[in-house]
Chain A
Amino acid sequence: MTGRSAVQKPGAVRSLTERILPPIVLGSGFVCIWYLLSYGLLEPRRRFLLRPPHQVVKVGFLDWDNFSDILESLWSSTKVAMIGLAIAICIGLILAIMMSQAKIVERAIFPFMVTLQSIPILAIVPLIAFWFGTGQRSRVVVCVIISLFPIIVNTLFGLQSADRGLHDLLTLHHADRVTRMRKLMFPNALPAVFAGLRISAGLSVIGAIVGDFFFGRGDAGIGQLLRRYANQLAGEELLAAVIMSSALGVTVFLSFGWLQQRAIGRWHETTTGAN
């Protein structure tokens, strides 16, 4: 074992540079094209459409007044996304467990889940505003709706994919439903649950931003801010806010990957990306 890891080490170092270098090169390429477009393509009076990168950094990130605005609304949206996600997790786990216990419940619920999933979120946002108002509650509802489906589907799949032999073993030793769920089906579902969580967490962030875009009341989030910057033709701030929004999405995705690694990494080989 030790011999093998010693042999693998240089490979690991090399693969790290192999992994980091390509995105850096590509990213630098992007920045170059950005400059080219900003200075080469746009005449000075139309340059507000795409400010050069250093302007964006200076106005959007280094000007504390602007940056603190962005951070504040980002934090507000993060809270909404996480509350929505937490509610979706609770509802999703409970529904999936119910569905796994009785085929009839699964048959009853599933068509509605698929229907709910296939409605474009933009189409129901006005309806949500109509029913729940345009405050904080509506923002959370959008997050719940958008992130529920992957949690249910993945959890259900995980619960149902437990090994036949292990089920037989528990049957042979007279395990009841609760024991079967607790000792076999639920732990077996964990990798799938985490896979669903990573998708849902990202969706919840999108839900928070999209919802915020349309809802005026309550704490303004990053959606409201994006709208305001766009209306003010504040190109630098707008781009900075967009960059920070995607940074939030990436952070959430990575933290759930980390959480997964902590929770089940000891026994489960993680094969999903971003590692």
Chain B
Amino acid sequence: MESDRTGSATGSLAFEETGMVFPDGTEALQGISFTVDKGEFVTVVGPSGCGKSTLLRIASGLLEPTSGSVRADRDQLGYVFQDATLMDWRTVRGNVELLAELHGIGSKERERIAAEAIELVGLSGFEGHYPKALSGGMKMRCSLARSLTLKPPVFLFDEPFAAVDEITREHLNDETQRLFRTEEFAGLFITHSISEAVFLSTRVLVMSARPGRIVEEFDISFDYPRLPELRFDPSFAELCGQVSLRLRGSHA
């Protein structure tokens, strides 16, 4: 069964008994095992400080786990940070072109894929703006566009919308979901918002407080495309309630 899920050749991410103990002795993660396949959008929810971000850093290869292993297609990883992390000295276009630049893609091609990504996140017309002239939500869109340029098979999101307001956040959720549908990546999303998790994901994993372990797994079977109205559906609320209950249980 386990080998089945890790078997797919491209676009997948697999944790196997992954554990992380920091040099100061803090045990951040313990025995994490799960896979994300192409076409799956898996969200990890957990109390703050439970090691969610550590999990993502390990998935990306920025951090080596101290036990177990992680397998991921890291060549063209998509990584969306907590903040937009844009370069202030580059325009929207310049920021979006960055990754293609780092991978040595020619300027013509770079321009084309940047324009496409900017269009995809709805920032057309703002190509020449510098970050200081953008709102928080627009900065996040720009950040999304940047990570889309390389068509990453694996997409990691580290609480990307935590800093924007509720309305902007719902918009960005709608768009993330749309991008997931069109780009068909394997998504691993970290958040502490339960409704965000349920709305976006095919699967929600609940993590316990430190040391972080996966304590529950919820399959979310709503059909895509998911409309904004889904958030007011009783079955949506019920699922959120279940996740919330499990999350609270993990606090104790």
Q: Which residues of A contact B (CB under 8 A)?
A: 163, 165-166, 168-175, 179, 183-184, 187-188, 190, 264, 266-269
Contact = CB atoms under 8 A, between A and B. Distances in A.
B73 to A, nearest CB: 13
A85 B243 CA distance: 63
B130 A169 contact: no
B62 A184 contact: no
A157 to B, nearest CB: 16
**Nearest 3 CB-CB pairs, A to B?**
A165-B85, A267-B130, A165-B81
Nearest to A171: B62
B102 A170 contact: yes
A174 B77 CA distance: 11
A172 B85 contact: no
B132 A267 contact: yes
Interface on chain B toward A: helix, strand, loop, or mixed SS?
Answer: loop
A171 B81 CA distance: 14
Contacts of B187: none
Contact of A183 (B77, B88, B98): B98
Nearest to A268: B88
A179 B98 CA distance: 11
B103 A266 contact: no
Most central of B79, B82, B89, B131 by chain A CB within 10 Å: B89
Given A173-B99, A184-B87, A267-B89, A168 B82 contact: no
B77 A163 contact: no
Given A266-B130, A267-B130, A163 B102 contact: no
A264 B89 contact: yes
Interface of B: 60-62, 74, 77, 79, 81-83, 85, 87-90, 98-99, 101-103, 130-132
A190 B87 CA distance: 12
A183 to B, nearest CB: 7
A264 B102 CA distance: 23
Interface on chain A toward B: helix, strand, loop, or mixed SS?
Answer: helix
14 contacts: A165-B82, A165-B85, A168-B62, A168-B79, A169-B79, A169-B98, A170-B102, A172-B60, A173-B99, A173-B103, A174-B102, A183-B87, A267-B90, A268-B88
Given A169-B98, A169-B99, A172-B60, 14 more contacts: A165-B82, A168-B60, A169-B79, A169-B85, A170-B102, A172-B61, A172-B77, A173-B102, A174-B102, A179-B102, A183-B102, A188-B87, A188-B88, A188-B89
A187 B87 contact: yes
Contacts of B62: 168, 171-172
Contacts of A179: 102
B89 to A, nearest CB: 5
Nearest to A190: B89
Nearest to A264: B89
A174 B131 CA distance: 25
A185 to B, nearest CB: 11
A166 B88 CA distance: 11
A266 to B, nearest CB: 6
A172 B79 contact: yes
A187 B131 CA distance: 14
A269 B61 CA distance: 35
B60 A166 contact: no
Nearest to A184: B87
A264 B90 CA distance: 11
Most central of B62, B77, B79, B102 by chain A CB within 10 Å: B102
B95 to A, nearest CB: 10
Most central of A169, A174, A187, A268 by chain B CB within 10 Å: A169
Contacts of B102: 170, 173-175, 179, 183
